[in-house]
Amino acid sequence: MKRFRLTSATRIVLVMLCVMYFITYLDRVNVSTAAAGFGKEFNLTHTQVGLVFSAFAYPYLLFQVIGGWVSDRFGAKRTLLFCGAIWGLATVFTGFAGGLASLLVARLVLGFGEGATFPAATSAMSRWVAKEKRGFAQGITHAASRVGNAVAPALIVLVMATWGWRESFYICGALSLVWVVVWAVTFTEHPKDHPRITPEELAVLPAPKPKVTGLPWGKLFRRMTPVTIVYFCYGWTLWLFLSWIPLYFLHNHHLQLQKSAIFASVVFFAGVIGDTLGGLVTDAIFKRTGSLKRARSWMVSVCMLFCLLSLIPLMFTHNLALSIACLASGFFFAEMTIGPMWAIPMDIAPEFSGTASGMMNTGSALAAIISPVMGGFLIDYFGNWDLPFVGSMLLMGVGVVLAFRMQPESRFELGASEKAQVSTRMGT
């Protein structure tokens, strides 16, 4: 068998999705570091800064399922072209903000643009990634997003020191718009239509299936509910980290902005390793055992348990080195759940993978609304920067138990009456 070329179609698509994940998280978390600039300029409280952090999550939550359905119905290419233009322009406009109100508006538009991105990417992966490599594909793309988390603090500090906090948004927005142009010329909805696709690649990709144009919403929602709740438990910790870790070291340990950015990057790079390793491990378990329950549910439960245990020492020490170790370890194990979690919608409902993953990600989107604001409130009210992590530990404990209710081995199937009502056609 011929080896895949470095520029093979499947690799090009996966690289483009990795770049998209990187840019979307760079665009959504740059605000955490830039808050040191606009928070001071606009005289905002920690609670108000938390509102800015969470504002994008309201439309982000709303458009998870809608965006997933749109990508299933009309394709990932058109969906991501439209969304990319929206989130890129919203990022640029953030740099023009004149106060709290305009910051909130810009972040709301950003959430609208980014709402469909991950469900649309999952819809694309359902056609472009072999079943036994789904965990790796989800792990490596999310690892790219965590690279965005990791480089954002240092990058934004550098831009702020050179030009200012506004310029950091101009640069990030320009990167997004460049990606949109490249995506337009490198991606095709179906692998067989790509000019670089090879017979060897097509042989291992999922066979084309009839495209379902009707959807039993209630039945799919009930099937995905346990997965959504588990992802909420994970999302609470994710958004607490993304929103407050850059300022945690700045204020809780009284460090300079540059040093706090470096330590925040260390924590986020631990997530990069966790995402990548989690994808590899879940695929390896599935390949060895043939059990989706072990590869997905068991792995998620174990990783959430270790995340919980990693954060406990924060409550009993104020040592900088130990705090970094606890936070990095906690984020590492939290991110190890990403590969198996995002593979689950493709395992359960491959024909509706965009919609199913959108339903799942509403859990994280809801957490993104509540977690940053709650964290800011606790910090303002109690003056304790470690206290918000208590909520993370409690919800991770819930996730440990509920992970066994996700049942990825149980495929979502249409009933006889539903099949009769659903019109189908072969995707072209």
pLDDT band with cut points at 50, 70 and 90 for residue 205:
confident
* Dihedral Cα 49, 50, 54, 56, nearest 10 deg: 0
The residue ranges of DSSP E strands in 283-383, in sequence order, are: none
Say yes or no to pLDDT of 66 above 60: yes
Q: Is residue 428 part of a domain?
A: no
- Which has the higher per-residue pLDDT, 415 or 231? 231
User: Is the CB of residue 53 less than 8 Å from the CB of residue 111?
Assistant: no
Distance CA 115, CA 133 (A): 25
Mean residue pLDDT across the chain: 86
Q: What is the pLDDT of residue 1?
A: 35
**Is residue 161 one of the residues assigned to a domain?**
yes
Residue whose entry in the numeric block shows the structure tokens 């999922």: 206
Residue 99 lies in a domain: yes
Q: Where are the alpha helices (DSSP H) in 253-298?
A: 257-289, 292
What are the φ/ψ torsions at residue 210 (nearest 5 degrees)? Answer: -55, 140
**Does 420 map to a domain?**
no
pLDDT tens for residues 238-283?
Answer: 988 887 887 788 776 767 767 777 888 889 889 999 999 999 999 9
Percent of the chain with pLDDT over 90: 41
Dihedral of CA atoms 272, 273, 276, 282 in degrees, nearest 10, equals: -130
What whole-number distance in Å separates Cα of residue 139 and Cα of residue 278? 6
| Six-digit token string for 215 | 């959807």
Is the predicted pLDDT of residue 370 greater than 50, yes or no? yes
Mean per-residue pLDDT for 135-145? 89
Angle formed by the axes of helices 353-382 and 117-128, nearest 10°: 140
Identify the pLDDT of residue 210. 58
Query: Nearest to residue 103, comparing CAs of 60, 161, 48?
Result: 48
The answer to whether residue 311 sits within a structural domain is yes
Instruction: Using the Cα atoms of residue 246, residue 248, residue 249 and residue 254 in order, give the sign of their dihedral.
Output: positive
The verdict on residue 424 lying in a domain is no
CATH code of residue 89? 1.20.1250.20
In a domain, 35, yes or no: yes
Range of the domain at 235: 9-187+218-412
Please report which confidence band the pLDDT of residue 68 belongs to, taking 50, 70 and 90 as the band edges.
confident
Q: What is the distance between the alpha carbons of residues 372 and 377, in angstroms, rounded to a whole number?
A: 9
Judge whether 30 and 152 are in contact, CB under 8 Å: yes
At 299-334, the pLDDT tens digits run: 999 999 999 999 999 888 878 889 899 999 999 999
Number of structural domains, the chain? Answer: 1
In a domain, 56, yes or no: yes
Which pLDDT belongs to residue 213? 58
Q: How far apart are CA 26 and CA 75, in angstroms?
A: 25
Phi, psi of 426 (to 5 degrees): -70, 135
How many Cβ atoms from other residues are within 10 Å of residue 323's Cβ? 21
Q: pTM for this structure? A: 0.78
